[in-house]
Structure formats: structure tokens, C-alpha cells
Structure 1
Amino acid sequence: MDVASIDTRVGTESKYEFSHGNTLPLTGQSFSMNYLSVQTSTHEDSWWFNPQDHTFAGLRLTHQPSPWIGDFQHFLFRFKTDVNFDLKQIDDYNPNKAIFRPDLIALDSLNQQIKVMATASKIGGVLRAFNYSQDQLKLIIQGEKLSFVRFKDDTLIFKTNNFSACADPNFTMWVAVSCKHMKFEAEQTVDKQNALILSIPNKNQIRFATSFISEFQVKTNLSRIGNFDTVQQATIKDWNNLLSKINIQDSQKEKVLTFYENFYRSFLFPMQFYELDENNSPVHYSTALKKAIKGKMFTNVGFWDVYRSSFPLYSLLCPDKYSEFLEGFFNSYQETGFLPRWLSPDERGMMPGTMLDVIIADAAVKGIKVANLEKYYDAMVKGAETSSKDAKYGREGLEEYKKLGYVSSNYPESVNKTLDYAYSDWAISILAKILGKDEQAKYYSKRALNYQNLFNKKVGLMTPKDAHGNFVKNFKDTDWGNGFTEGSAWQNSFNVYQDLPGLIKLYGNNKNFIQTLLKLVNQPPKYGIGSYGQTIHEMREMVAQPFGQLAISNQPSFHLCYLFALAGKPHYTELLVRQLLSSFNSSFKGYPGDEDNGSMGAWYVWSALGLYPQAPGSGKYVFGIPLFDFASIKLPNGKKLEMLNENNDQTHQFVAGRNFNDQKCSQEISHQELLEGGLLTTKLTLLA
């Protein structure tokens, strides 16, 4: 699949009330420091692009990972030809004739008579504007808290100071824009935004770069930006190198396109948050220390979202990048004293749990290089034992968790916090074993069983407890909130990745466990608003899908369909996975819920290939059912993993058997076995 086939607008037709992905059409290289996009709205909120709009405000330089998090250091590139142009005026374009690709944005401003083209690298990009009118072509750079610095030698320097949240109120981005024979004309203020107005020659190239470090650094970055073709070809190469890691062959081209659209989404976040100085050494701006320091850093990532699917995908396809991410996240720990939870640009404290713990353990188990492994272990232990005065960091309710063995209903999301903390404790025990810390491994392995303290045998689900050990009264299993995160007890009670046999034992036996799962997927998708006090978009999205209480629209449900296979009923998994995959497509409404930093895209990639990370930190995968006739994966060690799917059609919905290198497969396979490469053959059958 070539990058030119990717339409970046998949999943962008979303709004506050209902998400079909809440994605943005992002142009730039994988894991970039900046992305370019098209802003179609002038509304001051996070939903600034709609693929059905026939108007656009300009090209937006963005760092927005999610509408729920917001943007930072963003501004617009705008082009005008009207003699008496109005900065409040929005332009017209035809979205059906526009190009939205990872390497290219191209559209026609109909009222201004301008063709606009843009491409981007990791640290900047190049714009082109073709003026079809006889009027002077103007470039307007517009944004909130944007200020002029200087104009010299055809180069404009300005800076921005806008963000939805940041520890440093003076956090700044410098921008350099260069174009031959460009002239600076004026600075204006319009609707609380500043606008820098420049005249530029027709058909010229406008190079730009950004820096979070300094004016000197942004000039260094600009010197590394080539012409339009050079930058575009580098971005094409970057994406094609990634896309070529998996080769899909199938008779249904729409399915193949959907796969690669999801592949693209999986490699946008985390975003680079460091630069190379004049000596090509990495340097980044620390918003915690309020100064530039040496080392790498990454941002725009929520670990609660990505630990389940995204990072396991990186572990198989690009372990070196995985190592680089961990290097950056350790720098964040050194600067703040706690491992990060949700970075944008710095700690936002969103979502429960300290799930970077699991990402670290998964890397260590799979043999991925983790610099400072011993120090990372110390950092994980600190998060497990030390409460932070700032609730954004560490584990909220930690003292209760250590004393009671659970987080009580005194804290919001108490059940999810308890289950996530128990999983992180297990991750610590895994790392302790690797480091030869046997006593610590036993301690945290035992504490990883704390999930059992909230299992309510009377209802067969996890239930919040008060601080006195009593299950809360008037419990309703379909009420959202009330101890649970973005769901009810049905979506969140099975987040016990580290000890599924122990969870099944709480039900008495496999049969009872399977019956509970069957009840989960076969009951109506009813919900109560619970402690949310209103209907939120995740509730609507669950109801929109025909899977009962299995809300594939959100991360806690990602693994639910695979629990059947792990409990001895793989045909239920196979049937569900095929149905769940049909909830995705390559349209503007391509997702069943928030895509969230590549996590849902990675879920699709795994599930379409026919396997899924069983429990990150275990180094194991559980088999589902492959979607394609044939897939080939280029492994990082130079070997190749080929996956052949026999009898692959709509009537054959179940797996009759699997062979890996001529040996019969069980229901699980290890990461190390996959890295050996070879041929995995799956034979499908008509009847279960």
C-alpha cells in the first residue's frame, strides 16, 4: 500500500455529542513534532474540522492529540488575494476535490482564486500558493497569543504562547517562515487573535520550522528544511517504509484500505517533543524545570489508552522506536519525580492508573532495550509506594490502596483505580523477577491480587466498596461512573489481564465465567447516567453498536471478545471479532468511537491479523480470526512472518485449526515465537 492511497479524513466526522473517531486529518511524518491540518471552522473549540464543510479558515499547525485534551501552540496559515480582504472572512473550497494525505494537503480557495499545497516534515514543512487572480498574494499568519519577533532577510520570526494547559505559563514556541522576496506589511488584531500580514510572490515556496527551545534553535531547524519536493519525498519514504512492514493481499480492496488507514493512525502518537541542536544532539524544553535540557522527550500520549494495543504493535514492528519512547518518558520522570500518565505537552493527570508501568514491563519481557532498567524499576516502585501532593501525578487514593487492599468509594473511579493499580503491581513484579529481586517480586505479585477485594459474588461483577469494607448500597450494574471509568461494571469488571485464571476462579468455574460473558454481549445496551449526571458520548456510542454491553467504542472493552478464547470457547471469540471488525470502515465515519492516540487503530490492525496482546507484560498473544487471505510481516530482525488464511469468505466464520511452521498451534503464541518468523496457516470452517 502506497501512502498516496491514505485519506487522512477517516473518522473525522465527529462532534461533541457523538464520535466516529474524533480524529484529525494530519499531514506530516510518523510521530512528528508538528502536524499540518485544515481548519474548516472559526469556532473556538476543539472540533475545528468537519469533512463535510465547504469552507475553510486556513491551514492549521496543530499539536492536538484529542478534542478532550485540546491543542497547544497552534496557529493558521492563510492566503488572500482580495484587495480589501477581511480577516474574519472564511474561504470556500470543494472538499470532494481536495487532497488529504499524510504527505500532502492540496485544495483550491474558490473565492480567493488560489491553489494551496502543503507538505510537512517532523519539525516544519513547505507551503505553495498558486495565485490565479491579478491581485497581490498575501500570507496571513493568525493565532491566539501570537506575537511578532523580527523580520530580516526574507525570514519572519514569531512566537506563540497558547495552550489548553501547561505547568509553565511562559511555555513558548518559536516559528521561522522564509520565502524569497517576501515582505512584512503589518500586524493586526482580530477577534482576540493576532495576525501577521505579508506579501509573497506567486508560485513561490514558503518554508517554515518550529522550535520549543529558542529563536536560535528555530533558525537551525529552518536550515534543515529543504524545498517542497524534498520534504514531500522524505515524508512519502517515511510512511512507505512503515506501511511496507505489513503486506496485505485480499480480494476485497475496501478491507485492505481500511487496514492501512488504521495502520496510519497507529503511528501518529506519541509526538516528538525534542529537537537536534547545531551539533545534532537531542535537546528538549522541560516545562517542569522551565528550561531547555539535553535528551529526548515525547508528548501527546495517554498511557491508559495505548498500553493495550499500540505499544505491543510497536514492540513487534519497531522496537528501536519503542526504546526511544522509553528514553523520553524516563526523562519526564527525572524532571517531575513521577512517571507520566497523560502528556500534552506535560502531565495532565487524565485517566486512572499508572499504565506506563505495563509498557515498561512489556518491553523488558520481550527483550527490547530499556536504558536505565534498574532506575525505571525504582520509578515504578516510587509510584506504587509514594503519594503525590499533586493529584496529577502517581496513584490517587494510594494510601487507602495500601491499607485496605483497594481504593474506596471516597475516590472517583475507585474500581478502575484498584484494578489498574493491581495490574501495575503485577508489572512491577515482572520487572523485579527480571532484575533478580525475588522478595520484591513476591510482594508485588501478591499485591497484584488486590482486584479480588472488589469482586462481588452476589452480582458476579466488580463493585465499589466504602472505606469500611462494605459494598456500596443501591448498586446498579448498568449505571455509569459510580466507581467506574467511562462505563459501568460490565465494561470494566474484566480488566484483570494479569490473572485471568484467578478471575475465573472467583466465578467458580469456566462455565459460570462464560455464562457471564454471554450475558454481557447478549443483553440490551442499556445504561444509567450514574455519577456522570448526563448522557455522555461514550454511552451513545455503545448503544449504536449491536454488541450488548461490549462497548468496542472504548478501550476497556478491547479485550472482552478475546476472553472467550482464553476461557476455552474460541469460536465465540471468532464470531465476535469478525462482527466487531465490521464496525470499522474507510469513511469519514470510520470508527465506532474515539480512536484515541492510535489505540483503536492498533486494535484493528491486531484483530485483522488474527491475534491480540493477551496481557501486555506477559509477552503472549491470543489468537482470534484473521480477516485477510494473506499477510506478510517484515520483522525487525530481518525475518518474515507469513500468515495464510484458507477458506476465507463470508460463510466460513470459524477456525478449524492452525499450524505454525507445520506444528499445530494452541490458543496462544509468544512474542519470541513470532520473531522466529515462518508460516502461520489458519484454516476456516463453516460450522463451529
Structure 2
Amino acid sequence: MLSALKRLHDMRCCFRKSDIVLACLLVCFGCKQQSEEVVQSESANPLPRKAYLGYVDTRVGTAPSIADITVTEVEEPLGYVSPIVGNPSALTHWTPQTAKWTDRVITVPVPYWYDQKKIQGFRGTRYPNGAVVGDWGPMSLMPLTGEVKIDADERASSFSHATEIAKPHYYSVKLDDYDIKAEFTAASKTGFFQFTFPESESSSVVFDGVYVPGYYKVIPERNEIEGYTVIAGHFKNHFVAKFDKKFEAYNVDMLPNVVDADLVPDGFKAAYYNNDKLEGEPDVFVTYSKLNYNWLKAPAEGVEDDFFSAVYTGTLVARHSGEHTFELTTKDGTRMYINDEMVIDQWMYRATGTNIHKMNLIKGQKYNIRIEYYDGSSTTEMHLRCAEPVRPDPDLGPKMALKGADGNAVYITFATKDQEKVKMKVGTSLIDLEQARANMEEEFSDFDFNEAVAKGSDVWEKELNRIQVEGADDDKAIFYTALTKCFVNPRNLNEGGRYFSPFDFEVHEGEMYTDLSIWDTFRSLHPLWVILKPQETTDVINGMLNAYKQGGWLPKWPNPWYRSIMMGTHADAVITDAYIKGIRGFDTELAFEAMLKNATEKGNRGFSGRVGIEYFNEIGYVPTDIFGFYGEPVARTLEFSYDDYCIAQMAKALGKDDHHDDFTQRSKRYINVLDKETGLVRGKKRNGEWLPPLDKSISVWAQGTDHDTEVYYKNHTLLVPHDIPGLADFMGGEEKLVDYLDEFFEKDMYYVGDEFSMHAPYMYNSLGTPWKTQKVVRDMLAKYFFDDVGGLPGNDDCGQVSSWYVFGAMGFYPALPGTPTYEICSPIFNKVQISVGKGKVFTVTANNNSKENAYIQSATLNGEPYNSSQLFHNAIMEGGELTFEMGPEPNKEWGNQR
């Protein structure tokens, strides 16, 4: 069935390797053919440089998985990635935009979906690739001919995937409706575009803020546009766009007026509830003359900072008859009613967005307006505007474009000859406009587009050459595309030694990273960086500590500020794992202080921290009757226990023996939510009473069918990576836990995209059956990952799923971050060479390797017999060679030494 699905998919998508290679040869300047010719060597990397970009297609994961995925009804096996372009960890990436929002099982602002038929523009995005959160401070631009269309849907052009080239440093596509070829490359803060226009008296480029209005100014004598959009009312995404062609016309699409006392003479009455469901009686009442606010925290005294709701009511008196256009800009959920009829329905957790409603009003008549709103976490926005049916001054837009004005969009227009190439650079900055201009000039000092593409190619070839593999071409395509995704996030906010902090809204010197999906990425993405990018790992940790100093807490899912989502405080794991493996260059005492705060104090200042920590510390678990549905109390108990294990390891490394002993004991508290009756995790009330077995209220992810619920419980029960012997004792011994795992995998209850149990295939190593790890991992790599747009088995989560693949394909995996060890599996490649710094290379060689020969028969490490299924970090970083002899049957005598 799976192979049939893949063949069917292959027939409808132009995704064959030969097509990609041909496209690279003809168009993609910096890309080399797939022959991997040696192009140069570097002193920093002793391996001779090879060309790997020909294997990469960044569209992998932009369509639903073609594999048979175990997933609950409330999830979809989607990668949530886009074909983004830009340097690793770029401040701003660029990508084609097929949608502002997409209604899937989860409504998300992912810019690009493979199955959508039109391109709305090209987005400067900060959407964390593969995640399900917000795109903060994006902008979009679109070339077109003929009548200028501002609305993204109206201006969208059809296109064919056959004309796309999607690489991490270069994207190209033909916009069929306008006969425009669009190409772009990007560095860290600047996008560089080349548009090949047809002959036209009216060729234009439109800029907008995607979800929000912006400020725009045209400087025709410099061929420039500058402007910014406001991010949550507290800082700005600045940009400067510079063309190599003179403007012949320009305009700002002006904003409607804010609805104020001229339209609503008695103002808006607000009723606030200290819950996010409009439940019970209001707690606070306020009257506003208009709704045009950005609130960093609470909108009024007595209202909670986060997770509140509100109803705003007012009476509008129309001053004109005719069509009125209402624009409602909010963050998170909103509904708008006019005369009790719902006209806007966006009742969902979301990033800032603008919704539009048009209707005819009659002069002098009264209209009751009601806006319902709920706030999730972080900041709050509420803006209501209305365009009345008054003929606009046609000269106002161009005049205001020169002066600078707020608007929905700005555009410039010029005549073009057939096949004329127009080039444009767009520098971005969170600091100010001059920094955006400086970033642009530093990264692309001229308009040599081909050279810019070659420069981006060089950057990415250097990244991919950190690991060189030998094996089948299909496997290389999957591997190097996955490795590309491992270097996209976290996002580096450094601009010339400075950064704008999303935690105190000030400019500082030093390091700052955001879009860290730490709940996911602590498991293998950060451990991969420890090996490949030790210096940048230090920078990331220093960024975390700067967040702690400026915001009071280590970040756990910054996007770009604190987001109170997911469980645990796994910065504890990231820092501990790095330190245990030799990463230095950060303040360890400050780091330990911050980790202790996570483990002992409730969150504040809009940061949730470890929700339920006071109960975890009082009674040893997070109770379900206090933190119920969506509260994930059982998962929190398990993850707090693991975090405490990491703190214990950090304490031991720092010589803090009392803390080590204390947190080692705390790490055993997971046992309090393991139930002997069911043999699984189970919710427990504060009084010690268990919830019913397989109770669905344990989590939103446990919804759906009864089988879905059982899958959730089975996966979660394994979330004890730090104490497998203790879990085995609970099960009744190692053999019982092996039986549990056997049934778990045989009945296909493992969801590879679910981080809770990503370490599960490697648990066999700790239970004396390493050949089972070898078999299970090898099978999963083949079953779930493909060189196909549907080739990812779930949310990539900022590179976590991709890094899980990268480690497994190489033959070892960091199953327990916080310790200097890796679990050995069965490498799919005949040879893997890893540049580990200081001129050293660690090599994994698999002799007699094939799909059939998936079992390790014997091994040597640097020529000496090696009989352990565990590999130590020092062995990797010192360089050397781990050699496996492979065979078709398991050797049950190998790998049992620990």
C-alpha cells in the first residue's frame, strides 16, 4: 500500500532527482551537479569540499506525509515547513507565500503549501520552520503587471511546480498570470530578488505587512522604499528595499480611519473576564473612546496578564450611506457582530491578523457593534478601523508615499521591456531603518545577482560538508535535505554585534536567539549542534542567559518573546547537555541559578514556567483536578522529573553535591503517575485518587477514537529516558519492558513525529537487546522518510524530526541529553565522516552494509574490538573511526557491555 501511494504521488509531482540536477545545472548558478566533484578544501574542515546542494529540495515536508503514519484525529502528519531561503539561523528568511492562513486540523500561518495552486507573493518570514506557532513581523512583496491589486488573494498568480527550483540559498518560479520569472536568494538579514518582466507599460512591485498594516515611505531619488510593521505594539520590523531601476509612479494604499467618537459617540464599553472563555460574571469594566491599543500585559488593572477574555460594545452612527469597510486587527481569538449578526469569526489562538468586513450602512442609522475577544499568552492587540464611502483624493496616496504614511500596502510602478531583469534588495532589521540599510549594504553591496546566488551556495555547501556520507542517492537526498532543516532555526537576532531584545524591548550588545522550539529540539537538534556547532551552541546558551537577565526566566519556547506553551523547562536539558559535553564560554553559576528558579518558583511576568510546580514540589506530581484538560498534568510530572535529572547532572558537574542528591531524588517523582493497575501513566487528583483508566481528559492529544487514546497513553508511559531501570522495575523487570516495547512497535503504536517517545527505539540498548534497536530504527527510517514533498512524517518542529533522522541514519542517537553518551543503532550509509573541529574527523564505517544486512555483527573503535551499544561523546570529538561489520541476522552477543 505504501509503495503504491508513493508511486501515485511521484506521478503527480515533478520531484525526480534528474529534474533537480538539470535545473541546478541550467539555472542555479552556485549549485553543482550531483557528481560531488571536489570544489575546494578548507582549513576548518579537513574533509575535501564536495557538492551536496544538488540533493536538496526544501519543498520536502510541504505536503501531507505519504507514509502510513500512526497519528490521532487531532493531528495531521504534516511537516509545516516552507521552501525558505536564507543563511542558517537567519534573522529573516524568504519564501513563496501561497496563503496567509490555512485551515487544516490546526489553523496555522505556514506560508507555503504544496497543494495550493497560486502564489500570493514572497514573504520575509520569521515563522519557525516546521512548528505550529506564529509568524512574527513578516512582510510580503509581489511583482505584477497591469492593474495593481493589493489584496493577496486577488493578486495571486497561478504557477507550476515544474518551474520551481527550491534550494536553501535560491528559489525560482514562473508567475504564469503575469508572465514574470521570479528568483531570489538571501543572506541573514537581506533578500535579493531578480524579476524578469514581459513588455509592459505598467510593471509593479507591491509590499505589505501580511497580517498588519505598516508605515511606508518612497524615496525615488534613491530608488528606495523604507518602512516598518509594528510587532505586538512594542517593536518593529524595519525594512529598506533598493531597486536598480527608476520608479515612474508610486502610491500608498491608505488605512481607514480608527473608529472613534466621530462614529461611536458614546465610546466602547469593555467587560473583562479573568478566564479565556467569557465565563461567569465580568471582573473589570472599562470605557474606551476608541479601540486602537497594544497592551504588553493586562489591558486594565485587575485583569490577568494572559488568558483573559473581553466583550467590547458600542453604538455606531453612520455619517454616510453606502459601503463601509471594517478592519479588525487583533491577536488571538475574536468575533465581531453588527446588530447581533456575526460578521467576523476568528475564534482561535493565532498571531496578529487583520479581518475585513464590508457592508452597506444608511446615513443617520444606528448599528450595535459587539466584539468578543480572548487572549492566549504574551501581548494583546485590538484595533478597529472603518473606511467610509467617501471618494478618496487620487493624489493623496502618492503625496503621502513621499512624506511617509501608515497604509495597507505600498507599491512602485515602471515600464519594462520584454525579458527585462529588474533587481531589488530588501534589508531588514529589528533595530532601526539605518541598521536595515547597513545590513543590506553589508550583505549585498552591489546588484550582481549571480554572484549573490553563488555566495549563498558557498555558505550552504560549507554547512552540508560538516557531514559527508556514502550510500544510495535517494538516501543522500533525504539526508542532506534533513540536514538543511537542522540549520534553519534557532533564529539569530544579532545585527553587527547588537540585538533588539524581545524580552525588555531594548538594544543590547551580545547574543540573542529566538524561535527555539526547546520542548522539541533539546532531544536531538541541540545535541547535533554540540557536535557540529560548538561555538554557536555557546552563543545560543548566552542568548538564553541574556533572556533570563532581561525577562526574568530562561526561555522555553520563545517566538520571539516568552510563549507559555508546552511542558517543562527544557533549557535545563540544553544547558546541561552542552556543559557535560565540554561546551564552555558561559556563566555557569548564572545558568544554575536560572535552572533552580525553574524548579522552585511559579512563572510570572507572562511566563508560565513549570505550570503546577508548587504541587509537584508539595505532593510529588501535578494533580489532574487542578490542571485538567489541556493542562497536561501527567506529562508535566514526567517532564519535570526529567528536567530535575538534568539539574542533578549539572549540579554534579559543578561540585554542588547537596543539589545533586536533592534533584536526583526529585527526578524519581515520575513514579507517582505510573499506575500498577493499568501498567500505564494515569491522571491523579490532589487527594491521591486516580482518574478512570484511559480517561480522555488527560490531554487534547488523547482525543479521537479509543485507539487514539490508548496510543497516547502507551507513548507517554515511556517518557522516562533518565531512569529506564526504574521504569523496568515498575513494569515487572527488563523482560516485561522489552515485551511492552515489542508490542508497542509491532502494533504500530509509535508515532515518530511525537517527541514524547522519540527515544523509545533506543531503549532496547539499555535492556540487553540492542539488535532490536538496530532493526526498529532501520525500519522506521525506511518507512517514514522519503525524497518527496510528502517525505516528512510529522511537524518538523524547527529541525527536531529532521535531526532524529540525521542521527539515526549516521548510526547513533542522543537518547538521554544531559549525559555524554549516545545509543548505537544501524547506520544506513556505508560511510559517514563528521568534521568535529580542530581538524579532526569522526568516521562511522559499515562494511557489507545493505537494506538486508541491517544487524551489527561486530565492531571496532580505532582498530580495537568494541562490544558496547553505547558511544561516548569524547570518542566522537577526538576523531577516529567506528567500524561495523554488518549482516542479515542479529548477533545477540554483540553490544551488551554498558
- Structure 2 equivalent of residue 676 of structure 1: 878
Matched, 1:627 2:825: no
Q: CA deviation at 1:677?
A: 1.6
Q: CA deviation at 1:53?
A: 3.4
Matched, 1:618 2:819: yes
- Structure 1 equivalent of residue 712 of structure 2: 488
Q: CA deviation at 1:408?
A: 1.1
TM-score when scaled to structure 1? 0.91
Question: CA deviation digits over 1:228-269, x for unaligned, max 9?
Answer: 23432332122111111111111x211111011110111111
Question: CA deviation digits over 1:563-617, x for unaligned, max 9?
Answer: 1122111121111111110110111101111111000000000000111103101
Change (3 A) 1:43 1:563: closer
Matches of 1:685 and 1:576 in 2, distance apart? 15
Change (3 A) 1:293 1:507: same
Q: CA deviation at 1:18?
A: 2.4
Matched, 1:347 2:547: no
Q: CA deviation at 1:86?
A: 6.8
Identity %: 24
- Structure 2 equivalent of residue 180 of structure 1: 244
Matched, 1:657 2:858: yes
Q: Is the 8 A contact 1:414 1:483 kept in 2?
A: no
Q: CA deviation at 1:391?
A: 6.3
Change (3 A) 1:63 1:42: closer
Instruction: Tell me the amino acid that sits aligned with residue 157 of structure 1.
Output: E
Instruction: Tell me the amino acid that sits aligned with residue 751 of structure 2.
Output: A
Instruction: Tell me the amino acid that sits aligned with residue 435 of structure 1.
Output: L
> Any gaps of 5 or more consecutive residues in structure 1?
277-281, 524-547
Q: 1:329 aligns with which of 544, 564, 568?
A: 544
- Structure 2 equivalent of residue 533 of structure 1: none
SS in 2 for 1:674: helix
Instruction: Tell me the amino acid that sits aligned with residue 466 of structure 2.
Output: K
Q: CA deviation at 1:625?
A: 0.5
Instruction: Tell me the amino acid that sits aligned with residue 464 of structure 2.
Output: L
Q: CA deviation at 1:67?
A: 5.6
- Structure 1 equivalent of residue 80 of structure 2: 22
Q: Is the 8 A contact 2:131 2:795 kept in 1?
A: no
Q: Is the 8 A contact 1:414 1:484 kept in 2?
A: no
Q: 1:147 aligns with which of 209, 215, 221?
A: 215
- Structure 1 equivalent of residue 225 of structure 2: 156
- Structure 2 equivalent of residue 111 of structure 1: 177
1:416-455 correspondence to structure 2 within 5 Å? 416-455=635-674
Q: Is the 8 A contact 1:267 1:598 kept in 2?
A: yes
Question: CA deviation digits over 1:472-513, x for unaligned, max 9?
Answer: 2x2128886279799622111122222222222222321111
Matched, 1:61 2:263: no
SS in 2 for 1:293: strand
Instruction: Tell me the amino acid that sits aligned with residue 634 of structure 1.
Output: S
Instruction: Tell me the amino acid that sits aligned with residue 60 of structure 1.
Output: R
Matches of 1:557 and 1:432 in 2, distance apart? 26
Change (3 A) 1:519 1:14: closer
- Structure 2 equivalent of residue 576 of structure 1: 776
Give the aligned CA root-mean-square deviation in angstroms.
2.2
Q: CA deviation at 1:365?
A: 0.5
Q: 1:292 aligns with which of 483, 486, 507?
A: 507
Q: CA deviation at 1:462?
A: 2.0
Task: Identify the range of structure 1 (298-307 vs 200-209) with the bigger mean alpha-carbon deviation.
Answer: 200-209
- Structure 2 equivalent of residue 536 of structure 1: none
Q: Is the 8 A contact 2:131 2:796 kept in 1?
A: no
Change (3 A) 1:619 1:93: same
Q: Is the 8 A contact 1:46 1:67 kept in 2?
A: no
Matches of 1:685 and 1:422 in 2, distance apart? 39
Instruction: Tell me the amino acid that sits aligned with residue 446 of structure 1.
Output: Q
- Structure 1 equivalent of residue 575 of structure 2: 360
1:251-650 correspondence to structure 2 within 5 Å? 252-276=472-496, 282-389=497-604, 392-409=607-624, 410-411=626-627, 412-472=631-691, 474-476=692-694, 481=699, 488-523=712-747, 548-582=748-782, 583-650=784-851
Q: CA deviation at 1:79?
A: 0.7
Matches of 1:502 and 1:488 in 2, distance apart? 21
Change (3 A) 1:437 1:48: closer
Matches of 1:456 and 1:189 in 2, distance apart? 62
Matches of 1:86 and 1:403 in 2, distance apart? 57
Change (3 A) 1:28 1:84: closer
Matches of 2:457 and 2:512 in 1, distance apart? 24
- Structure 2 equivalent of residue 102 of structure 1: 168
Matched, 1:198 2:415: no
Task: Identify the range of structure 1 (52-61 vs 601-610) with the bigger mean alpha-carbon deviation.
Answer: 52-61
Matches of 1:627 and 1:43 in 2, distance apart? 38
SS in 2 for 1:51: coil
Task: Identify the range of structure 1 (452-461 vs 348-357) with the bigger mean alpha-carbon deviation.
Answer: 452-461
Change (3 A) 1:34 1:320: same
> Any gaps of 5 or more consecutive residues in structure 2?
1-50, 66-73, 103-107, 256-354, 357-406, 704-708, 891-898
Task: Identify the range of structure 1 (115-124 vs 571-580) with the bigger mean alpha-carbon deviation.
Answer: 571-580
Question: CA deviation digits over 1:267-310, x for unaligned, max 9?
Answer: 1110112211xxxxx22222332222222211112111000010
Q: Is the 8 A contact 1:477 1:489 kept in 2?
A: no
Task: Identify the range of structure 1 (119-128 vs 187-196) with the bigger mean alpha-carbon deviation.
Answer: 187-196
SS in 1 for 2:443: coil
SS in 2 for 1:603: helix
Matches of 2:99 and 2:566 in 1, distance apart? 29
Matches of 1:31 and 1:368 in 2, distance apart? 20
Change (3 A) 1:84 1:187: closer
- Structure 1 equivalent of residue 460 of structure 2: 239
Matches of 1:635 and 1:506 in 2, distance apart? 40
Task: Identify the range of structure 1 (36-45 vs 512-521) with the bigger mean alpha-carbon deviation.
Answer: 36-45
Instruction: Tell me the amino acid that sits aligned with residue 240 of structure 1.
Output: E
Which one has a bigger Cα radius of gyration?
A: 2
Instruction: Tell me the amino acid that sits aligned with residue 10 of structure 1.
Output: V
Matches of 1:223 and 1:574 in 2, distance apart? 51
Change (3 A) 1:443 1:248: same
Matches of 2:584 and 2:111 in 1, distance apart? 40
Q: Is the 8 A contact 2:205 2:411 kept in 1?
A: yes
SS in 2 for 1:448: helix
Q: CA deviation at 1:326?
A: 0.7
Q: CA deviation at 1:390?
A: 5.1
Instruction: Tell me the amino acid that sits aligned with residue 862 of structure 2.
Output: N
Change (3 A) 1:441 1:122: same
Instruction: Tell me the amino acid that sits aligned with residue 176 of structure 1.
Output: V
SS in 1 for 2:155: coil
Question: CA deviation digits over 1:318-337, x for unaligned, max 9?
Answer: 11111111111111111111
- Structure 2 equivalent of residue 75 of structure 1: 139
Question: CA deviation digits over 1:328-348, x for unaligned, max 9?
Answer: 111111111111110111111
Matches of 1:42 and 1:286 in 2, distance apart? 26
Matches of 1:42 and 1:508 in 2, distance apart? 52
Change (3 A) 1:596 1:650: same
Instruction: Tell me the amino acid that sits aligned with residue 451 of structure 1.
Output: Y
Instruction: Tell me the amino acid that sits aligned with residue 187 of structure 1.
Output: V
